[in-house]
Amino acid sequence: MKHRVTIVEVAKQAGVAVSTVSRVLNGGYASPAVRAKVQEVVRELGFVPSTSARGLKLGRTGLVGFVSWNTHGAWASQLLCGIEDELVGRAVSVVLGSVGLRGTYDASAVRAWIGEHRVDGLVLARVPVEHTPLIDELRAAGLPAVMIASDIDFGYGVRMTVENRIAGQMAAKHLLELGHRRIGFLGGPKESVDSRDRLVGIEEVVRGSGLEIEADHAGFAMSYNPESAIGYAKRWLGLPREGRPTAVVLGNDEMAMQFTRVLLDRGCKIPDDCSIVGFDGVPEAARFWPALTTVSQPLRDMGSAACRVLMQMIDGTDDHVTDALTFKTELIVRESTGPVPFRQQAA
């Protein structure tokens, strides 16, 4: 019979106390160096903690939930990578829940997790107002929650967001510096605080240059799905050349890539005919051609931070965690943006 590695052996090889190994495995406090050492030894020895015994002792399931509109999307996938990074070496697993997988809102599966206490806490991404009953049930159950990109303040859990207004300003400044004077915008849903804040940032910079974004050139899509950009692309193609925006900012990278694809299929050249900017900084945006200029969010770091905070809340070691955390964005310039052609500038 194969020898089962014990926690005592892990502690001995790592040069720490058994209680320290237990804290690391249970998500408790340990210095980064000690945590890294213990996790390395756990991997080397193939140590498998007894999650059932641990769960009975602590009254936990050993599971945390990750909930998004669609957990298969590029944005959510990067957050999930960060969550998985944080769970390495812990006796905790993550379960996934998509509330919009079939195109309409349905949180019944997640509500079952809460009602039957199948998870110890939740990370919720892109949290719409429709989640209100869900949050009420979380509150009633006393389950910890971290919300990324929440459309409203539910007065519960920890909220995480990025500097979306500054992100919009970055995109607008970049395009104005390239000579663009007619800029279009298609955000995600109008209910999305992220989309509204990005448009505010763009408008602030554009108006500061004595220009305006024409009402017909700015709008919001029904969702962040890439297909939502198709109609906007067709509308752009239907405008007279002299009346088209020479640059367009879209709600996320997937929408921007879809918009680009429609224009390329119709014989347009990017960025000669239109400069295009996305948001998020997903890996696919760098591999797309022309590679997409984007305002990048630190999605993997956000996922890792969300999981870390959630574990602190579960363990009751979150005394120093604030109710809201904000992350910075970064403009990444690639081939999808360029100087406005002289003929368009003159128009």
Across the chain, the runs of DSSP E, i.e. the strands, are: 63-68, 93-98, 122-127, 145-150, 158-162, 183-187, 218-220, 247-250, 275-280, 293-296, 324-327, 330-332
Q: What is the per-residue pLDDT for 44?
A: 87
The CA distance from 142 to 154, in Å, is: 14
Distance CA(17)–CA(22), nearest Å, equals 9
- H helix count then E strand count, the chain: 14, 12
What pLDDT, on the 0 to 100 scale, is given for residue 239?
Answer: 95
Question: Quick one: pLDDT at residue 42?
Answer: 85
Contact between residue 300 and residue 285 where contact means Cβ atoms under 8 Å apart:
no
pLDDT of residue 342: 62
Q: What pLDDT is attached to residue 56? A: 40
CATH hierarchy code of domain 164-297+331-346: 3.40.50.2300
The pTM is what? 0.81
Amino acid identity, position 305: A
Compute CA distances 293 → 7, 168, 201, 250, whole Å. Answer: 49, 13, 17, 11
Residue 315 has a pLDDT of 82
Burial of residue 294 (CB within 10 Å: 0-12, 13-18, 19+) is: buried
Q: Comparing C-alpha atoms, which of 74, 72, 59, 79 is closest to residue 122?
A: 79
* Domain boundaries defined on the chain: 1-49, 164-297+331-346
Phi-psi region of 152 (alpha: psi -120 to 50; beta: other; left: phi over 0): beta
Q: What is the mean pLDDT of each run of 10 residues along the chain (347 residues)?
A: 72 84 71 85 78 50 93 93 91 91 86 92 94 92 93 91 97 98 96 95 97 94 94 96 95 97 97 97 96 97 95 81 90 97 55
Domain 1-49 fold: 434 Repressor (Amino-terminal Domain) (1.10.260)
